[in-house]
Amino acid sequence: MDAEIIRAAQELRERTVARRRDFHKHAEAAWTEFRTASIVAKTLQGLGYQVLTGDEVVDPREMMGVPSAAELERHFRRALEQGADAAWAEKMRGGKTGVVGVMRFAKPGPTVALRVDMDANDLIEAAETKHRPFCEGFASVNKGAMHACGHDGHTATGLGVAEVLVSLKDRLAGTVKLIFQPAEEGVRGAKAMVARGVVDDVKYVVGAHLGVNLKKNGQVACRTEGFLATTKVDAAFTGVPAHAGAAPENGRNAILAAATATLNLHAIPRHSQGASRINVGVIQGGAGRNVIPPNAVIKLETRGATTVINDYVYGEAVRIIEAAAAMHGCTVAMQLMGGAAGCENDAALVERIQQVVKRQGLFSEIVPAGNIGGSEDCTYFMERVQKNGGQAAFVMIGTKLAAGHHDSFFDFDEEALVPGIALLAGVAAELLTKG
Amino acid sequence: MDAEIIRAAQELRERTVARRRDFHKHAEAAWTEFRTASIVAKTLQGLGYQVLTGDEVVDPREMMGVPSAAELERHFRRALEQGADAAWAEKMRGGKTGVVGVMRFAKPGPTVALRVDMDANDLIEAAETKHRPFCEGFASVNKGAMHACGHDGHTATGLGVAEVLVSLKDRLAGTVKLIFQPAEEGVRGAKAMVARGVVDDVKYVVGAHLGVNLKKNGQVACRTEGFLATTKVDAAFTGVPAHAGAAPENGRNAILAAATATLNLHAIPRHSQGASRINVGVIQGGAGRNVIPPNAVIKLETRGATTVINDYVYGEAVRIIEAAAAMHGCTVAMQLMGGAAGCENDAALVERIQQVVKRQGLFSEIVPAGNIGGSEDCTYFMERVQKNGGQAAFVMIGTKLAAGHHDSFFDFDEEALVPGIALLAGVAAELLTKG
Amino acid sequence: MDAEIIRAAQELRERTVARRRDFHKHAEAAWTEFRTASIVAKTLQGLGYQVLTGDEVVDPREMMGVPSAAELERHFRRALEQGADAAWAEKMRGGKTGVVGVMRFAKPGPTVALRVDMDANDLIEAAETKHRPFCEGFASVNKGAMHACGHDGHTATGLGVAEVLVSLKDRLAGTVKLIFQPAEEGVRGAKAMVARGVVDDVKYVVGAHLGVNLKKNGQVACRTEGFLATTKVDAAFTGVPAHAGAAPENGRNAILAAATATLNLHAIPRHSQGASRINVGVIQGGAGRNVIPPNAVIKLETRGATTVINDYVYGEAVRIIEAAAAMHGCTVAMQLMGGAAGCENDAALVERIQQVVKRQGLFSEIVPAGNIGGSEDCTYFMERVQKNGGQAAFVMIGTKLAAGHHDSFFDFDEEALVPGIALLAGVAAELLTKG
Amino acid sequence: MDAEIIRAAQELRERTVARRRDFHKHAEAAWTEFRTASIVAKTLQGLGYQVLTGDEVVDPREMMGVPSAAELERHFRRALEQGADAAWAEKMRGGKTGVVGVMRFAKPGPTVALRVDMDANDLIEAAETKHRPFCEGFASVNKGAMHACGHDGHTATGLGVAEVLVSLKDRLAGTVKLIFQPAEEGVRGAKAMVARGVVDDVKYVVGAHLGVNLKKNGQVACRTEGFLATTKVDAAFTGVPAHAGAAPENGRNAILAAATATLNLHAIPRHSQGASRINVGVIQGGAGRNVIPPNAVIKLETRGATTVINDYVYGEAVRIIEAAAAMHGCTVAMQLMGGAAGCENDAALVERIQQVVKRQGLFSEIVPAGNIGGSEDCTYFMERVQKNGGQAAFVMIGTKLAAGHHDSFFDFDEEALVPGIALLAGVAAELLTKG
């Protein structure tokens, strides 16, 4: 079957590149992937998958860092103008742009999930001739949204895998779920799909990413463990204004609350069991130089080598923020803006992926994923599957990069797409034949 | 002469109201008073005054809190469109909108200065029928600029005084200087005029304001001492960005520097010799939740019951801000945005003003100015005159108010204008006849 | 009657000096004035006063900053060894060393209270020949206790007044209360006597002090208003220890709580209605360099120009301290260690005192009391009397000083004692004859 | 040779226990090990070793956390009274209590160093019957000093090794250095010996410790890598006192400087390359509740998984402390109180130690050293040797413990001593025969 998969993947080369470039050109940031997601849905439907989207796969109560209703609506209309499938997009209204393609094979077997992400970054794409997407006419037409993290490639890969698996369907046993997640940037989207139960019946889940530390074509990492568990939160302090010269005692100083919180947040004790992080990345407050400041917002994130460590840091942070508000007679409202779990890969599954890599022979070296330091919310899917007794792994696929991730000159080598399709389809076939 | 002055002032009633409404309708905020100031200059010239403006009366190195060049240019063009005198306005280019009208009388005598201010507030004027300027068609046509502190009335009063004094000129001895100051809001303008030497030859200076604590027509305060000396300053911290998850140790955290500065600024010790104040009214910083913040700005002000106390607080503030930057490996740039001195009134001059009030009989009660708590940069003129051995006083003129100062519904009773013109002209005549 | 009072006071000159030196030599610090107070009690009794002490005049629940039971007992035994009156001292056991001498005169009239204080400072007296008490053999024999604030003189004055009034008793109407207060240093004693109702029936109360800003014999101030209301409090934070290397996350850091409290306490906003103060004067915490600190204590005081302002600062302080503890998962226990009210003098009473000064002719100049900046708990008696509709004043009596108050070389000129006795007796006689 | 070594070690059983108990009974804390060290010197001399001590092996400029001269002298005299060798002790005066025994063998070969430590803890030993040293009469007679970390056992082991090696000397090649280090508690002593060049010629260095995570007899760890590099430092802030009520503006507040430093120290960013730690374990400051505090001390430590990380944290700490002083107009003096490096074991040497363990058969299991979290300044010797191209390792020897290290009931099982002697002598012999 390996040879068939490889051939099928190779035949998808042009179509995959075209899809990637189409998604790249119509880049859509988190929760606004109406065009991308509706095309994914329509394509999966055309291939024979049962397609779930909108409320079926996204719990709106758990969506984090969602744009305003006006923003969502504006991007919804833009998507329609740019060729979104209106019927599918309609189901996604309000940002519920997750898509899951399900195929149940005739023979009984495990449920296997593959997960890719679809959203672009909030970035203005470079418009210089040294930037290939610009030269070749597929740079983003949506100013302020740019695929600078490879998710356009991930989505195209996911559709390629969908096609390959259809071609093998008579020989597969069990169920495959192809998860197309919105809003991975800022780790905002996975939680709402997990909360809806999307992977509750899954025995194996595999996520994938292009590049990161693997900057050569031919490299692959079959386990990725450096992701930090994280929580993103905004804390908005509200005090009472007063004239700073005439009646300072009548004020309740929200900037003092925020400043005290900030200092003490950074002073949260290190955890002896592994890396922890805290960052107040943004602060904004005040109503005028001569007014006791009645408002202040801090935007922060906590991280930990494991979910336990991140939970520890986040728990400390909440207590500190609430106490800082109380200290200055202010109130505080906290809003979750993103989150991801820590990441463990199951050795048995990693081993099976490595076997597929070796059998297919499309990668020249299996390397470690290296130090990550960042976060990835595929970990929520993995954690849920592992809690239910299943296995999880996260694969990195090497590719030459024109510039680093999240850089306005980011671009990857499209030659890395076919091996990725073959690998993921191969892993699915392995699990859907041998259980 | 008192009767003549009163009559002359009363005859100016309609013209003064018309001027006030014209200025109100074409409200211009600090350093952009091109229309107002050019009309003042042209009027003074027409009355026979020597008129100084632009570089002659404003030291550009000491202008504080000046809008950007683009902003200045935009408002300059607006002024021309709204009827500014092009020739005079041209001399004021770059925001140098101060005007001084000088008249040297035949007989020798002291130099007497009267000072009024011309700028509007950064405020959107109320557009409701209960707001008289709106009803009667003289609300500001310049959105975001509104005369909500009575400076329109002050400017009209200054021109009225100019007319009255011309009518008496054969009987006066010495020199009169009528100072029309820009940018009193934020206490930004006086320093640059004092630095240019505008009052270096002045023996008596008198400033005036409508309303504040005197909220009834007929009230007048001949001494005003509650003004707090103040310094307004922005401090911009610059650090080094770094990925907060992957390499926090490579960052230099400007928000931590700003937060530490903020807390310690508020902890500056009280001064035993009188009131002191400190306020960090605005804070802004950061480049993203997951980035060690490379920048942060705090906008603060210090105040003191006297210049000495304010200088103490400001000196402490500078040391704290610089140390907070050094503490976190950041640099900091501080920019003065405004300032005012403390305020002492000379008893002898106050007594002479009270005598004029009593002789004229236009006010029904002389009252104390009450607790001020705010600042006023006329104090810079007063301090300079006093340092040179002269005398200074600041007068408050009562008026019914529709709403408090700096409120979008602010309005005063125009009946208060004529008594104000008569009083200031009377005080000038007193000093320019008796020395 | 003035002449009689003056003569009587002058006849007490030697006895008063002897008493002062005896008290000076046997200096007793706050709440341990067993010898001093028992001698006062015995003397008053001998003069025919009704004498109240111990629980009769001190509410033990309101005693602040009391030494340990062992300390009290040690000083009690020392007092007996040094000639205390055993029977009276016994009633004072536990530190209840306040004494009130009451004399009800035959004729009806107002109740007039005079208040003096008895305690020494926690200071080692200078043992050099330039220090007169050392030279002349009356330096303190109680190491660590020294009369460096003149309370020895106050106590001797109080007894002198008691004698003078007895000599006039047939001509007086009403009741006199001579209040001998313990523990004025640290403003710890008055509250407990006021709480027991000692001045609840008093119409006039007068307090007095030697020196302060009046550093010449012959000076007197009949009103003293610069005293700041104050609250002294200790806050003890309790956290959880942990090894700082092996398990920092298990600790609860009491030093961080104390440091955060300290910074934020100093940042309490100024009050627009008058002077405020805050000082964390002492901090102590920790269990070892490599242990997350499980404990920390801060010793602080708040002050205000008025009781209202001090209450504001203290209220803010309590909230900040409690929030700082909560912020770091600690608990905090606060203990009141001292307190005093603000101080207003009733103009009518001040005027009557000035009349006495002028009639007696023993002082050469009536001066203002000057800037005080410190606190005095006589204010609690004054505030209570004023709340009940009575009048209060505080008198300063000038005297040459060898060194400043609370200096180990402090000494005053004993020539200042007789005029003080005459004045206070004269004021009492004035009030007890004219009502 | 293994069998001989084992037999020789076993014959030393009683003598070693006696030595250990003698050292235990006469426990001497850091830098005061005059009795212990002089006995060590005398014994080594008796065995034929060249003995270096005092200035020969300790650089006084690099001694950290040394007691006062008076303390040193007091303990020196105590040591003489308790049987120290007067001649040797005299050379150690001033705390220079390090001892090195050197033996150069006839045949050429490498220089091999073994390092043990000699100091006791600052602890009052338990005086209860359940505590064996108390029961059996060898509890510390020096109140406040107790061997609660097994260094008595280490010293006895070192002397045992010295004896065994003498018995083998004709067959050894090269040089052996037996290093007896003072002041390991608080990691204060190694630096001064390394600075004197004690290990500059050493090719192999091996350190050893009893217990820690190995709480069973028969366990041994041949590599120990969890030690954190550390720096211990005291920072003393000096400000200016002032009366907190009367003239707060005249003070320079050292407690505010210390509190600001403390908060910001704990906020030092985490390091992405491994564990970091910071702890302000002790704070003390102030002169009285009503005095602006003129002084404050913080006692802190930094740690890092590697020397590089600790150096990073310490560098940040120095900058923060200096800036906090400057911020409040204070000065600060910093004094190094201790330090240790990170710890890497050379795999080749570890392997050879494991071979010795296996050949001798005295330990039942080779285990990992486990998570340490603490620091050990043997690492300075190791780091120096490694920098010179040599190899280093640190061995843990299991023993049943009566209570944890640094507990007043600490005791270990003396049966662990003989296997330790045999192992260390065996390792030395291995290296001194095979190079």
Confidence of residue D415 (pLDDT cuts 50, 70, 90): very high
- A40-44, B150-154, D288-292, D384-388: least confidently modelled range: D288-292
Confidence of residue D372 (pLDDT cuts 50, 70, 90): confident
Report in angstroms the alpha-carbon separations of D393 from A388, D202, D311, D348, D356. Answer: 44, 13, 22, 10, 14
The dihedrals phi and psi of B20, each to the nearest 5 degrees, come to -55, -45
Nearest C-alpha of chain C: how many angstroms from B369?
16
Answer whether C314 touches A (CB < 8 Å).
no
Q: What SS3 class is residue D259?
A: helix
Nearest C-alpha of chain B: how many angstroms from D257?
9
Residue B83 has pLDDT above 90, yes or no: yes
- Is the CB of B289 less than 8 angstroms away from the CB of A301? yes
- Check residue A107 and give its pLDDT: 95
- How high is the ipTM of this complex? 0.90
Instruction: Give chains near A: 3+ CB pairs under 8 A.
Output: B, C, D
Residues of B in contact with C269 (CB under 8 A): 266
Return the number of CB contacts < 8 Å for B and C: 24
Which amino acid does the sequence have at A131? H
Nearest C-alpha of chain D: how many angstroms from C20?
28
Q: Using alpha carbons only, what angle is made at residue D407 by residues D401 and D408, rounded to the nearest 5 degrees?
A: 105
Residue among A187, A249, A277, A289 with most chain B CBs within 10 A, to mutate: A289
Distance of CA D216 to the CA centre of its chain: 23
Contact C5, C161 (CB under 8 A): no
- Check residue A374 and give its pLDDT: 87
Residue among B231, B255, B379 with most chain A CBs within 10 A, to mutate: B255
Residues of C in contact with D280 (CB under 8 A): 255, 286, 293
Mean pLDDT confidence for B356-384: 93
Residues of C in contact with A272 (CB under 8 A): 246-249
Residues of C in contact with A270 (CB under 8 A): 248-249
Mean pLDDT confidence for D74-87: 98
Which amino acid does the sequence have at C323? A
- Residue in chain D nearest A226 by alpha carbon: D272
C261 CB-near residues (< 8 Å, 6+ apart): C235, C237, C280, C298, C320, C321, C324, C325
Q: What is the pLDDT of residues D225-274, one digit of tens each?
A: 889 999 999 999 999 999 999 899 999 999 999 999 999 999 999 999 99
Provide the percentage of residues in chain A whose pLDDT is more than 70. Answer: 100
H or E stretch at D129 = none
Which amino acid does the sequence have at B62? E
Q: What is the pLDDT of residues C350-391, one digit of tens each?
A: 999 999 999 999 999 999 988 787 899 999 999 999 999 999
- Is the CB of C258 less than 8 angstroms away from the CB of D259? yes
Contact A174, A49 (CB under 8 A): no
Distance of CA A252 to the CA centre of its chain: 39
Residue among A228, A266, A273 with most chain D CBs within 10 A, to mutate: A266
Residue among C237, C240, C243, C249 with most chain A CBs within 10 A, to mutate: C249
H or E stretch at C304 = strand C295-304
> How far apart are alpha carbons C214 and C42 in whole angstroms?
32
Q: What SS3 class is residue D191?
A: helix
Answer whether C270 touches D (CB < 8 Å).
no
| Positive or negative: CA dihedral C290, C293, C295, C301 | positive
Instruction: Give chains near D: 3+ CB pairs under 8 A.
Output: A, B, C
Q: What is the mean pLDDT of chain B?
A: 96
- Is the CB of D280 less than 8 angstroms away from the CB of C255? yes
Residues of C in contact with D372 (CB under 8 A): 246
The gap between the terminal CA atoms of chain D, to the nearest Å, is 15
To the nearest 10 degrees (0 to 180), the angle between helices A69-81 and A34-47 is 50
- Residue in chain C nearest D303 by alpha carbon: C245
Nearest C-alpha of chain D: how many angstroms from B298?
17
- Residue in chain A nearest B245 by alpha carbon: A373
Residues of C in contact with D287 (CB under 8 A): 281-282
Residue D146 has pLDDT above 90, yes or no: yes
D283: its two tokens: 């704070």
Q: What is the mean pLDDT of chain A?
A: 96
- Check residue B373 and give its pLDDT: 79
Q: Which of B249, B251, B267 sits opposite D256 (nearest CB)?
A: B267
Pairing of strands D107-117, D173-181: parallel
Residues of C in contact with A249 (CB under 8 A): 269-273, 312
Find residues 359-388 of chain C whose CB sits inside 8 Å of chain D. Answer: 371-375
- Is the CB of D286 less than 8 angstroms away from the CB of C287? no
> How far apart are alpha carbons A143 and B19 in whole angstroms?
49
DSSP for B39-50 reads HHHHHHHHTT-E
Residue C296 has pLDDT above 90, yes or no: yes
- Residue in chain D nearest B265 by alpha carbon: D327
Judged on CB neighbours under 10 Å (0-12, 13-18, 19+), C90 is middle
Contact A382, A119 (CB under 8 A): no
H or E stretch at C309 = helix C307-327
Report in angstroms the alpha-carbon separations of A280 from A294, A327, B233, B288. Answer: 20, 19, 25, 9
- Check residue A140 and give its pLDDT: 97
Q: Using alpha carbons only, what angle is made at residue B414 by residues B412 and B417, rounded to the nearest 5 degrees?
A: 110
H or E stretch at D122 = strand D121-122
Among candidate residues B201, B204, B209, B236, the one with its CA nearest the CA of residue B337: B236
Residue A72 has pLDDT above 90, yes or no: yes
Mean pLDDT confidence for A168-184: 97
The dihedrals phi and psi of B302, each to the nearest 5 degrees, come to -115, 155
Which DSSP state fits D249?
Answer: G
- Check residue C364 and give its pLDDT: 96
| Positive or negative: CA dihedral C322, C323, C324, C325 | positive
Q: Which of C269, C320, C329 sits opposite A327 (nearest CB)?
A: C320
pTM above 0.90, yes or no: yes
Answer whether B197 touches C (CB < 8 Å).
no
To the nearest 10°, report the CA torsion of C143, C144, C145, C147: 100
> How far apart are alpha carbons D79 and C320 in whole angstroms?
52
Q: What is the pLDDT of residues B284-330, one digit of tens each?
A: 999 999 999 999 999 999 999 999 999 999 999 999 999 999 999 99
Residue C269 has pLDDT above 90, yes or no: yes
Q: Which of A267, A272, A277 sits opposite D267 (nearest CB)?
A: A267
